[in-house]
């Protein structure tokens, strides 16, 4: 699942603004995260990493726990109801079913909430 599709299809300007507000810096066309040891990534990969971090944190507020991050930036989450493990897209689908709303709606609401907290 392309997370970007579920947060309203960000324009190039919104992508850059979102990353900068999240502490990312651009160096020679690559983006470096806020951590000192952070690796530089192309825009699309940097966006994926930041969306993953924000959406995982938002699900954490609903009881989900991060089990692990892969080297490629994917996350495994633990379901608060049955302790099963699933990917971020799977967790978003489960949470949307519980909330009785479409996945797109939930994902966009979580994204907006994370963006507003930073502003």
| CB burial readout 1-32, b (16+ within 10 A) else e | eebeebbeebeeeebbebbeebebeeeeeebb
Q: What is the pLDDT of residue 117?
A: 79
Handedness of CA 53, 55, 61, 63 (dihedral sign): negative
Hey, what are 92's tokens? Answer: 């978003």
Nearest by Cα to 29 from 42, 11, 10: 42
8-37 tens-digit pLDDT: 567 888 889 999 999 999 999 899 998 866
Hey, what are 98's tokens? Answer: 């519980």
Where in the chain are the domains?
3-118
Q: What is the pLDDT of residue 31?
A: 96
Which residue ranges in the chain fall short of pLDDT 50?
Answer: 1
């Amino acid at each position: 699942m392309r997370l970007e599709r579920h947060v309203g299809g960000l324009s190039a300007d919104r992508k850059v603004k979102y990353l900068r507000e999240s502490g990312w810096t651009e160096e020679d066309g690559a983006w470096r995260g806020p951590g000192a040891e952070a690796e530089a990534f192309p825009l699309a990969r940097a966006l994926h990493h930041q969306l993953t971090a924000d959406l995982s944190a938002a699900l954490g507020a609903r009881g989900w726990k991060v089990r692990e991050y892969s080297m490629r930036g994917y996350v495994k989450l633990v379901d608060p109801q049955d302790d099963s493990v699933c990917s971020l897209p799977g967790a978003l689908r489960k949470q949307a079913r519980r909330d009785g709303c479409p996945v797109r709606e939930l994902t966009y609401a979580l994204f907006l909430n994370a963006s507003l907290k930073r502003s």
